[in-house]
Structure 1
Amino acid sequence: MTTEVRSLREFKMPDVGEGLTEAEILSWYVKPGDTVTDGQVVCEVETAKAAVELPIPFTGVVEQLFFPEGATVDVGTAIISVAVAGEAGTSVATAPAPAPVVEAPEAPEPERREVLVGYGPRTGGSQRRARRTTVTATATAAGPAPTPAPAPVAAPAPAPAVEVSGDRPLAKPPVRKLAKDLGIDLRAVTPTGPDGVITREDLHAHAAAAAPAPAPVEAPAAEPVSAAPVSAAVVLPGAGDVRVPIKGVRKATAQAMVASAFTAPHVTEFVQVDVTRTMKFVRRLKESGELGRDVRVSPLLLVAKALLTAVKRHPGINAQWDEAAQEIVIKGQVNLGIAAATPRGLIVPNIKDAGARTLSGLAVSLGELIETARQGKTAPGDMQGGTITITNVGVFGVDSGTPILNPGEAAILAFGAVRELPWVHKGKVVPRQVTTLALSFDHRLVDGELGSKVLADIAGILEHPKRLITWG
C-alpha cells in the first residue's frame, strides 16, 4: 500500500442564475476514481430557469459524488469531492489499483473553450466523447435484489453506482430528461434526427411501440409512476395516476404566477382586429425574402413590431413598480419577452433592447430565441430583465384569454388564433382574417386610458401594417 499527500477539495453547487436557491442534478458525467481536469464538465443541472453544464475548477481524482441524479440540491452545498495531488492537506491512503476494466476506447474530445456555466461555445465537429452509462444500485425494504457476488475490493465504502460501458446516445437535454422521466433507455431508441440525434418524436414512437395491446395491463400498484411535465407526459392505458414533481421551471413558474396574481391588480382589455392586410404582408415578406433568405417570418413578428411601435408612442406601458422607493420606473429600453412552452415548462426569455432593432433584426432575434428555448438551452441571463411580454396562444388554436403578468412587468399581450370570419368591410359583409388581442396590465401604474391607447395602437397597426413605416 502506498501513501501520498493529497488535498480533498469540494465543489459546491453554484448559483448559475441570479438569485437562484437550488438546482436538480440531471446527469453525472464522472464517477469516483475518474480523473478530472480544470474546466472539465462533470455534471448537468437544471435550475428554475434553464439546464446548464457545470465545469469543475480544479484537477484531481473524484473521491465521492454526494448526490445521485434526480436530487435537488441547495446552492452552496457540496456536490462532489476531488483529491487534488501536489497540495499540502489531508493525508489520504490509497489502495492498490484494482484490475483494470477493459472498456471501449473513448473518441477524441473536440476542442472546447472553457466557460463558467451553460453550454458554452464549441469548436470543431459535432462528435461527442464516449461516456459510460451509470446504473444506480438500489435496495427495496424487502431486501436487495439477488446479484452475482462482486469481487472483493479494498475501498472503505461501496461505490454508489455500477458502471456499464457503452457510447452515450446523442440527444438534447430536454429529450434526455423526458426519456428519464418516461423510464426509456435511450440506447434502445432508434434515432431519426440529423446525425443520429434522438428526438422527442422518437421517444413517443418508442413508447407507443412498447405499449401493450388494449387488453388489461399489469403494473405494480405500489410503485409510483414517474412522469414527464404535464404537457409532455405519456399516460398509458391502465397505468393509473401520474404524479409530476413540482420542481425546476414548473416550480418557479407557479411561485411567480401566484406572486404576480396576488400583488399586481390585473385589468384585461380585449379587441378583435381585421388582420387581412397583415397576413398578406407576411406572405409578401416570405415570398420576396427581403428580410433575408434564412429569416423566419410569421404573424408573431409583426405583432411584436406593432407592440414595440405602440410602446415608443406610449412609454408609460414599459414600466415597473418599485415598492421600496414608492416610485414608478419607466424603463429606458424595451426587453421584449416571448412566452415559450418547453419540455421543462413555460419560460419567458426576452430580446434585449428590442425597440432599437429593425424588422429584419427583430426577425432574426425572435427566431434564435424560439429555437434556443425549444432546445432547452436558454441561458439564465436571457430570462432576466424583461420589461413587457407577448404570449402567442393562437398557436394552440385559442382565440383569447386573460394572461397573467410576468412578475415585475406592467403589461402582457396575448395574441389569439387568426380565423376567417364574416366581417363588415367597405360596407359589405365579406370573409376576412380576424384575430383577438388581449392586453393585461398592472392597474397600479397603467390606467384605463393608457392601456386602451396602447391596445388600440397595436390593433390599428395590424389592421393597416403600413403604419409600421410611418410610426416605427
Structure 2
Amino acid sequence: MTATEQRFREFKMPDVGEGLTEAEILKWYVQPGDTVTDGQVICEVETAKAAVELPCPYDGVVQAVHFDEGVTVDVGTSIIVVDTNPGAGPAEAPAAQAAPAAEAEEEAEPQGRQAVLVGYGAAPSSTKRRARKAQPGAGASAAGQEPAAAAVQAELNGHAGAAVPSAPAPAAPSLPTAERPLAKPPVRKLAKDLGIDLATVTPTGPDGVITREDVHAAASATAPAAEAPAPAPAAAVATGGSEAVRARETRIPIKGVRKATAQAMVNSAFTAPHVTEFITVDVTRTMKLVQELKQDPDMAGLRVNPLLLVAKALLVAIKRNPEINAAWDEENQEIVRKDYVNLGIAAATPRGLIVPNIKDAEAKTLPQLAAALGELVATAREGKTAPGDMAGGTVTITNVGVFGVDTGTPILNPGESAILAFGAVKLQPWVHKGKVKPRQVTTLALSFDHRLVDGELGSKVLADIAAILEHPKRLITWA
C-alpha cells in the first residue's frame, strides 16, 4: 500500500446480509469536508432484506462521496474516501471509481465544466459508447493543458474548428470548450422525453445543477409556441403506450425489500403445495385476560395485546405437535424437524413486508415474549431490522386483524412449514351456555406445506390454538 493509499482510505460497500450482491444508498449523513470518527454512522443503505446503517471504520475528514442517494451500488464498490491525515497538507487523492450512473450514459459530451456531480464524471470522448471506469486524470479539463495538447484534445473531442492561437503569447490562453449542463441521469432522461435542450435551461439547483423542476418550467415556457399534438391513436391509449396515459400513472421501481419479498412469495407459492384451514372461535375469555394482564405488575411497561396470547397459544400447540415445526429439504430429500421455535411476525413497513423472528421463542416466559414482541415491532416500524433478525424463522404469524380483515390464505415464508393468520376480533352473536349472546369472536387460518404436514396434523395444531384462546387457562394446564 502506497503512502497515498494509507492516507486516503476507501470504504467499500460491505455485504451487510448473507451473500447479498448490492445495496441502495438511502441517505448520507456526511458530506465532503466533514470530520468523521471510527464507528460513526455515515450512511443508511437498503438491501434486499432490510435497511442498515453503515459505520465508518476510519478517523479523518471525508474527501469524496462517490454515489448519490437513491443509487444502487454493488458490494465491494468504493462509496466514500476518508483522508486519515488531513493535517499533512494537500495531497492527490486516489481517483474516484466511476458510478453506475455514468456507465448508463450513452452519449459522452464535451469536458470543461466547473463542477462534477457525485457519481457522474466527465466523459472522455464524444464516441457513442458506454463509459468505463474512470481513470486517473480522466476528469481533467482541457482548459489547463498546453496549447498543442489542448488542440489535439479538442480535435479528439470533435472541436477541430475551435480557435487556437497562431502566434506566441505571453501566457498560454485557455482553449474555449463547451460546458456540459449539470444534471443527474434521471433529469437528463426527463429532458430527452420532453424534447428540452438542457443547454437552454436555467439551473436553480446547488452549484448550478439543473433540477426536474427546471426542466418542467422550461417545457411549460415552450408549450404555447409548440404545435398542438395530434390526438393519440385509440390503440395507443388502450395499451398505455401514449405519453398522455403515462403522465397519469405513478411508476415505482421494484427493488430492495419489496423485490426480495415478491420473489420469495413466488418461489414459495409454486414450490410448496399450500393447504389452508379455518376455524372461528369465541375469544371473549382471552380478551378479558388481556385486560387483566395489563394491570399485572409483572407486565408493567410491556405491550400486552391479543397477539401476545395468540403467539403463546401457537407455541403451546407446537409443543403438543412438534412435527409441524419442520422444513422440507429438497436437495437432501429430508424433513428437518426443528427443536427450537424462531417465531416470525409479519410486519408491514413502508419498504415492504418483512418477517423478523424471535429466536428461541418457546423458551421465553410471557413477560419475556411480550418484551421481545414489542422490540421486534418497534424496530421494524423504524426500518432498523437487521438481516440476521429475519433469518432462520421456523413458523410465522400474520396479524391481518389490525386492518379489520376477518381472515385470509397466507403464503408460507420460504423454508417454513406453517403460517397462522389472526383475524379481527369482533362482537358477534354467539351461542354461549345454550343462549345467544354477544361474544368477541375471531377467525384463524392456518396454511401449511402439505408435503410434510398432512390434514390431521394441521387440524390438530389449529384446533389446539383455538381451544387455548377459548379457554386461556390451558396456557397453564397444557404448558
Tell me if TM exceeds 0.5. yes
Residues 100-128 of structure 1: CA deviation (Å, up to 9, x unaligned): xxxxxxxxxxxxxxxxxxxxxxxxxxxxx
Inter-partner Cα distance in structure 2 for 1:324 and 1:256? 18
Please say if 1:281 is aligned against 2:279: no
Residues 290 and 33 of structure 1, relative CA distance in 2, 3 Å threshold: closer
The more displaced of 276-285 and 60-69 is 60-69
Please say if 1:22 is aligned against 2:22: yes
Inter-partner Cα distance in structure 1 for 2:207 and 2:447? 53
Residues 5-64 of structure 1: CA deviation (Å, up to 9, x unaligned): 522432211111122222110112233344444333221111222222212223444343
Match of 2:397 in 1: 390
Inter-partner Cα distance in structure 2 for 1:302 and 1:390? 12
8 A Cα contact 1:6 1:84, kept in partner: no
Residues 54 and 265 of structure 1, relative CA distance in 2, 3 Å threshold: same
Inter-partner Cα distance in structure 2 for 1:53 and 1:451? 41
Q: Which amino acid aligns with 1:458?
A: I
Match of 1:315 in 2: 322
Residues 315 and 93 of structure 1, relative CA distance in 2, 3 Å threshold: closer
Q: 2:396 aligns to what SS in structure 1?
A: strand
Please say if 1:422 is aligned against 2:423: no
Q: CA deviation at 1:362?
A: 0.9
User: How many aligned positions are there?
Assistant: 343
Please say if 1:352 is aligned against 2:339: no
Match of 2:46 in 1: 46
Q: Which amino acid aligns with 1:445?
A: L
2:445 aligned to which of 425, 432, 438 = 438
8 A Cα contact 2:342 2:361, kept in partner: yes
Match of 2:335 in 1: 328
Match of 1:253 in 2: 261
Inter-partner Cα distance in structure 1 for 2:30 and 2:467? 58
Q: 1:433 aligns to what SS in structure 2?
A: strand
8 A Cα contact 1:422 1:429, kept in partner: yes
Q: 1:346 aligns to what SS in structure 2?
A: strand
Q: Tell me, which stretches of 5 or more residues in structure 2 are unaligned?
A: 95-181, 192-196, 214-245
Q: Tell me, which stretches of 5 or more residues in structure 1 are unaligned?
A: 95-135, 149-159, 164-182, 184-237
8 A Cα contact 1:12 1:77, kept in partner: yes
Residues 258-301 of structure 1: CA deviation (Å, up to 9, x unaligned): 11111111110001111111111112212x32432211211111
The more displaced of 239-248 and 452-461 is 239-248
More helix by share: 2
8 A Cα contact 1:137 1:162, kept in partner: no
Q: CA deviation at 1:393?
A: 0.4
8 A Cα contact 1:10 1:80, kept in partner: yes
Q: Which amino acid aligns with 1:16?
A: V
Q: CA deviation at 1:147?
A: 5.0
Q: CA deviation at 1:305?
A: 0.5
Inter-partner Cα distance in structure 1 for 2:79 and 2:463? 53
Match of 1:231 in 2: none
The more displaced of 27-36 and 253-262 is 27-36
The more displaced of 34-43 and 272-281 is 34-43
Q: Which amino acid aligns with 1:391?
A: T
Inter-partner Cα distance in structure 2 for 1:290 and 1:394? 28
1:449 aligned to which of 453, 456, 462 = 456
Inter-partner Cα distance in structure 2 for 1:15 and 1:269? 40
Match of 2:280 in 1: 272
Match of 1:143 in 2: 198
Residues 423 and 35 of structure 1, relative CA distance in 2, 3 Å threshold: closer
Q: 1:260 aligns to what SS in structure 2?
A: helix
TM-score normalized by structure 2? 0.67
8 A Cα contact 2:257 2:354, kept in partner: yes
Residues 389-440 of structure 1: CA deviation (Å, up to 9, x unaligned): 0000001010010000011001000000111112222222222111100000
Q: CA deviation at 1:446?
A: 0.7
8 A Cα contact 1:41 1:53, kept in partner: yes
The more displaced of 19-28 and 398-407 is 19-28
TM-score normalized by structure 1? 0.67
Q: Which amino acid aligns with 1:281?
A: L
Residues 161 and 27 of structure 1, relative CA distance in 2, 3 Å threshold: farther
Residues 172-194 of structure 1: CA deviation (Å, up to 9, x unaligned): xxxxxxxxxxx9xxxxxxxxxxx
Inter-partner Cα distance in structure 2 for 1:80 and 1:303? 47
Q: 1:362 aligns to what SS in structure 2?
A: helix
Q: 2:458 aligns to what SS in structure 1?
A: helix
Please say if 1:79 is aligned against 2:79: yes
Residues 83 and 267 of structure 1, relative CA distance in 2, 3 Å threshold: same
Residues 77 and 93 of structure 1, relative CA distance in 2, 3 Å threshold: closer
Q: 2:92 aligns to what SS in structure 1?
A: strand
1:241 aligned to which of 249, 256, 260 = 249
8 A Cα contact 1:5 1:85, kept in partner: no
Inter-partner Cα distance in structure 1 for 2:322 and 2:266? 27
Match of 2:98 in 1: none
Q: Specify the structure having the higher radius of gyration (Cα).
A: 2
Residues 470 and 45 of structure 1, relative CA distance in 2, 3 Å threshold: same
RMSD: 2.9
Inter-partner Cα distance in structure 1 for 2:412 and 2:298? 31
Percentage of pairs with the same residue: 73
Match of 1:6 in 2: 4
1:15-414 equivalence runs, <5 A:
15-85=15-85, 92=92, 138=184, 140=188, 141=191, 142-143=197-198, 145-146=201-202, 162=207, 240-286=248-294, 288-414=295-421
